[in-house]
A and B are shown apart, each in its own frame.
Chain A
C-alpha cells in the first residue's frame, strides 16, 4: 500500500497548493493525494549545562503549562513539567523555612547550598559518569533532546519503544555506526545502528536509575562539606565589614546617600515601624491586665534592651518597677503587719524609731527596703550578741518581705493602661540608646562573639588547624590524639623544632595569623574602639536617657561602657593567650634543641644559669641532672599545665618543682629576648612588622610573668599576693586563667577530634562516592555491545560476501 502511495506521489508534478487544496476533505480526494504532514521535529544540540536562556525558556513554558492546567487543558507533557516545577517550588519553600529557622548565617546559607548541590548532583551524575563516557566511546548521546512537531522538548531515548531515530541524519547514523563498530557490509545497516543506539540508551538509562539514588545525596553532602569552609570565611568577612559600617554610621551619622544605603535605610525604618506597632499592640492587648513581675520582664525585653546589655536591662526593669505607684503604709499598719511575723524585739525597735527622720522619710516614700534596713540596724544594736553579716541581710530581707506583702495586700492593683503613658515615654527615651548599643554589640559579636561564624571562632580554627597540619600526623596518630593520647606530640614537636624549614614555616604562619587577630581584636583597634563607640553613643543619648531614667542614667551608661569594653577585651584575651601559648611552646621546643658539638641547648644553658643563681649549693652532677629534668618539665609545662598548676606553683601533678626550680623554669620559659622568633620572621616580612609581632608576644610574656608566673609565694588570694609582693595592680582568677590559656594538649585534642570526625565522615562517604563512580564507569563499558541478532546478521553477510 505504501509503495502504491509513494509511486503516486512520486509521479505527480509538484505544483503550488491552491486554497481549495488546503481543505482537509480535499486532501483525501484522488486529486489531493494523501501525503504526510511536514515533519517539524528536530534534534537539539547537546549540552552539559543549560544556558540561562534555556532555563528562562523552560520556565516560561512551565508557567504557560501551569495556566493551561489550571483551566483543565494541559496535556501529559505539560503535567510532567509541572511536577518538576512543583518539586523545585517545594524545595525552595523548605530551604526558605530552614533558612529562617537556623539562627546562624552559615547554616542559613548551607540550606540553599544543600538544595542547590542536590539538584546539581541529580543532573550532573548521569551526564558525567554515564552519558559523557558513553558518547565518547559509542557516539550515542543518551541525553539527546528533541523538539517534536508540537514544539515540546523531550528526551529522545526516554521511552525505549518510541524512539524517533528518524530524526538522526545519515551522517549522524554513520558516525555512530563507526564508533559502535557495526560491520559495514551488512544489510539494512542504518537500522542495525539505530537499534544498537536504542539498546545502548536503554541500558544507560537503567544504569542511571540504579545509581542515581545514592549518588545525589552523596554528591550534595560532600560538596556541602567542602564548601562549608569558604562560605564560612565569606560570611565572617561580610559580618566584619558590615558590622563596622553599621557602627560607623552610629558614631558618625550622615545623610544616607546611594541607592543601596537608601534601600537599607528604608528597610531599617520599616523594621523600626513594625517594632513600634507591635509594642503598641502589646499595650492595647494588655491594657486591663495588672502589672506584675512577669509583665515587667516582657515589657523591658520589648525595649530593645535584650540586644543591649544586662546592665541596661536591669536599669530599665528598675525604672519600670518604679512606675508602679507604691502603697504607703502608716506606722500602725507596719506594726500590725510585723506582729507575729518577726521577733517581738523588732516591733519594739520600730516603735522606738517611729519619729526617726530617716524612718519617717522611708515610711512617707513607702520604701520597704529602706524601712527594713533602718529597722534591722536598730534591732541589731539592741542585741547582746550582734548578728553577723549574713544573718543581718536575712533579717532585713524578711522584714522587707513582710512589709511588701502588706503593701501589696492593701494596694489597688495597677493596670498597664494606667501607666501606659509613662511606659511609652520611657521606651521612646531609651530606644535610641538601646538600638545603637545593639549595633555595637553586633560589632563586638562579629569579632569575638561566642557563636559560630565569628572572626574569633574562625581564627581559632585557622590557628589550630595550621598547628595540627604541621605536626604531620597519620590517620592512626590523629585518632590517638583525638582520644587524648598525647605521647607522640612531644616527639613531633621536637622534629619540627629541629628542622629549620618546618620551624620557620610554622612559626611564621602562626605569627601572621596572630597578627591578623590583633588587627581585628587588639587592644588598640578593638577594645578602645568599643569603649570609644560606647562613650559616643552615651554622649549622643545623654539627654534622652536622663529624661527617661533620671539622674542614675549617666552612671548606668558608664557601667554599660565598662561592661561591654571588659567583655570585648576578655573574650579577645582568652584566644590570644592560647595562640601565644602555641608560639611559646614551639619556641621552648626550639630552644631545647641541643646544639652541635655536645654544647647544651640554649634552654639548658638558661636553666643552668638560673639554678646557679637560685640554688648555689647544687653540686655540678646534681646540677646537670636537674637541668636535664627541668628541660623535660619545661616542655611538659608548655604542653599541659593548666591554671590550677600555676596556682599550686607546679608543685604537684607530676611537676614537683622546688621554689628554685620553679623560678628557673619560669624565667627560662618566658624569655622572648633569647628566642629566634624575630630573626625567623624577618626572613619573610619587614623588620618593622616582625618587631611588632614579637612585641605582642613579649607583652604577653611580661604580663604572664607578672600576673601568673611571678605571683607571690604560693599565695592563692589576690589580697595575699598584693601584701606579699607589694604589687599594686589587682587581678582576678579569670584574668590568670585567660593568661595561662588552654593547655596545648587539650587544644590539640579538640582540634584532632574535629579533624578526625570530619576525616572519618569524608572517608566513609568520599570512598562510597568514589566506588559508586568507579562501578558506574566500569559498568558503562559493558553497555552497547553487539546483540545476538546483530552477530548473526554479520556472520551471514560475511558468508554471503565470501
Chain B
C-alpha cells in the first residue's frame, strides 16, 4: 500500500501518542514511521523495553484485539489472534487456581485445611509452570546471543497501515511488536541492512555474525548471502531446543511446587502479620515473605531430588535430568557446528554462481 507523505505526517501524531516511553519533545522523522528494530532500546533498557512490549501486548489482548475480532474487523490479523493467546493462558491459570481454592472457604476447618494445602500447591504450580517455561528458554537463547550475536527474540516495532473502516479515515496507523526472527521462513532481513546499530555498512550485521561464526567475511563481497542461511539454521535449532526444554522445565516447576514444604508457607498477609507479632513477643524474628518463600523453595527443591520415597526421588531426578539434559543438548547443538564438513557453510573461496555454466537472465 502506498501512502502519500502527507498522510504519513498526519499519522505520526497518532503514532507519537501511542508509543509511550519516548522522550517528549523529540521530533520524529518520517522514516520513524517505518518498521524498526528495537536493538538499541533493548540493549540500553532491557527490562523497561520488555515491560513496554509485554504490557502493550497484554493490554491490547484484553481490550482492542477482542473488540476488533468480535466485530469482524477487516483489519484484524494473525498477530492479533496470536497475541490474544495470552487471554486463555492467564484466564485458564486463574481458573485452575480458583478450582482448587475458591470452594474451600465454604468447607469446615479440617476439610478447608486439606483443600487449602492442595490449593496452595496447585496455585504455585500454575505460577511456576509459567515462570519455569519463560526463564528456561533463556538458558538456550542467551548463549546463542552471546556467542553469535543472534538474538532470536530481537523485537521490532511494526507499523500497520490499516484500511479505513466505518468512516474512520484518520487513525489508520497502529503498531505491533514482532520479533525479527519470529518467522524462520521469512525473517525480517531487511531490518538488518544498513542498520547503524551494527556498523556503517549495508551488511555490517551479517559481517559481525559471520565473523563470530568463524567465517572470513573480509573475502566476501556479499556476507549476507552466506550468513543468512546459517543464521536461519541457528534460529531453528535454538527455537527447537528452547521449546522442548521449556515444557520439561515447566513440568519440573510444577513438580517442585507439589512438594510438602510449601504447605507451611503462609500466604495470607493477615496471618503473616499475626504470626510475626507472636514471634516477636517470644523474642524471635519472623522471616519476611521473600526469605520465607526462598527457604521453602530451597527445601522443596531438595525434597524434589531427594524424596524419602525412592521411586519419587528417582522420578524427580529423572524429570530434572531430562530438563537439564535438554537444555545442555540445546546448548551443544546450537553452539557447536556439526555440519561444518558437510558443506552447510558455503566455502568462502567458491563463487556463488558457477561461471562455467550458461546463465539465463529473466
Chain A interface residues (CB < 8 Å from chain B): 25, 28, 66, 69-76, 79, 82-83, 86-87, 89-91, 93-94, 96-98, 100-101, 103, 158-162, 199-200, 202-203, 205-207, 209-210, 212-214, 216-218, 221, 482-483, 753, 757, 760-761, 764-765, 783, 787-788
Contacts and interface: CB of A to CB of B under 8 A. Distances in A.
Interface in B234-264: 234, 236-237, 239-240, 243-244, 246-248, 250-251, 254-255, 258
Interface string B274-308: 00000000000000000000000000000000010
A94 B240 contact: no
A621 B322 CA distance: 85
Contact of B76 (A75, A101, A202, A760): A202
A212 B88 contact: yes
Contacts of B108: 482-483, 753
Contact of B234 (A72, A162, A213, A787): A72
A199 B73 CA distance: 7
A214 B95 contact: yes
A213 B88 contact: yes
A75 B185 contact: yes
Nearest to B333: A70
Contacts of A788: 166
B85 to A, nearest CB: 7
Interface stretch (B19-27, B189-197, B311-319): B311-319
Nearest to B84: A209
B220 interface: no
A392 to B, nearest CB: 41
Contacts of A74: 184, 236, 240
A609 B40 CA distance: 102
B174 interface: no
A93 B251 contact: yes
A69 B81 contact: no
Interface string B75-119: 011100100110111111111100100110011100100000000
B251 A90 contact: yes
Interface residues of B, number: 68
A727 to B, nearest CB: 40
B115 to A, nearest CB: 8
Given A203-B71, A217-B99, 6 more contacts: A74-B184, A86-B246, A97-B318, A100-B311, A101-B312, A760-B107
B362 interface: yes
Contacts of B65: 206
A90 B92 contact: no
18 contacts: A25-B360, A70-B237, A74-B184, A93-B248, A94-B250, A97-B318, A97-B319, A101-B307, A158-B78, A160-B78, A161-B78, A202-B72, A202-B73, A206-B65, A206-B84, A209-B81, A213-B94, A217-B96
Given A82-B240, A787-B72, A87 B247 contact: yes
A217 B89 CA distance: 11
A210 B87 contact: yes
B54 interface: no
A69 B184 CA distance: 11
B183 interface: yes
A209 B69 CA distance: 10
Interface of B: 65-66, 68-74, 76-78, 81, 84-85, 87-96, 99, 102-103, 106-108, 111, 166, 183-185, 232-234, 236-237, 239-240, 243-244, 246-248, 250-251, 254-255, 258, 307, 309, 311-312, 314-316, 318-319, 322, 333, 339, 344, 360, 362
A203 B72 contact: yes
A362 B228 CA distance: 91
Contact of A209 (B88, B247, B333): B88
Identify the interface centre among A89, A200, A209, A783: most chain B CB within 10 Å of its CB: A209
A219 B4 CA distance: 53
A159 B312 contact: no
Contacts of A483: 108
B233 A96 contact: no
Contacts of A753: 108, 111
A97 B69 contact: no
Contacts of B314: 100
A214 B87 contact: no
B81 A216 contact: no
A76 B96 CA distance: 31
Identify the interface centre among B96, B183, B233, B258: most chain A CB within 10 Å of its CB: B96
Given A25-B360, A94-B255, A89 B66 contact: no
Contacts of B87: 209-210, 213
Contacts of A162: 78
A86 B244 contact: yes
User: Which 10 A-B pairs rank lowest in CB-CB distance, beginning with the nearest?
Assistant: A213-B91, A90-B247, A206-B69, A72-B233, A213-B88, A94-B251, A199-B72, A100-B315, A159-B78, A69-B240
Contact of B70 (A71, A72, A207): A207
B244 A97 contact: no
A764 B101 CA distance: 12
Given A97-B251, A100-B312, A159-B78, A79 B236 contact: yes
Given A72-B237, A213-B89, A213-B95, A97 B315 contact: yes
Contact of B247 (A28, A86, A161, A199): A86
B103 A761 contact: yes
B237 to A, nearest CB: 5
B34 to A, nearest CB: 20
A79 B152 CA distance: 14
Identify the interface centre among A70, A212, A213, A216: most chain B CB within 10 Å of its CB: A213
A212 B166 CA distance: 30
Given A79-B184, A97-B315, A206-B84, A214 B247 contact: no
A91 B254 CA distance: 10
A207 B95 CA distance: 17
Given A97-B315, A753-B108, A206 B240 contact: no
Contact of A159 (B81, B92, B106, B319): B81
A87 B247 CA distance: 6
Contact of B258 (A82, A83, A87, A98): A98
Contacts of A86: 243-244, 246-247
A91 B233 contact: no
B17 to A, nearest CB: 25
A97 B71 CA distance: 44
Contacts of A93: 247-248, 251, 319, 322
A367 B164 CA distance: 103
Nearest to B238: A72
A83 B243 contact: yes
Contact of B81 (A72, A82, A158, A761): A158
Nearest to B344: A72
A213 B251 contact: no
Nearest to A88: B247
B255 A213 contact: no
Contact of A205 (B81, B107, B250, B309): B81
Contacts of A482: 108
Contact of B92 (A72, A207, A216): A216
A160 to B, nearest CB: 5
Given A72-B233, A210-B66, A212-B88, A764 B319 contact: no
A98 B90 CA distance: 23
A217 B101 CA distance: 13
A217 B91 CA distance: 10
Nearest to B237: A72
B244 A73 contact: no
A753 B108 CA distance: 8
Contact of B244 (A25, A89, A760): A89
A76 B254 CA distance: 29
A607 B166 CA distance: 90
Contacts of A218: 95, 99
Contact of B185 (A76, A161, A205, A212): A76
Contacts of B339: 71-72
Contacts of A159: 77-78, 81
Identify the interface centre among A83, A97, A205, A765: most chain B CB within 10 Å of its CB: A97
B232 A72 contact: yes
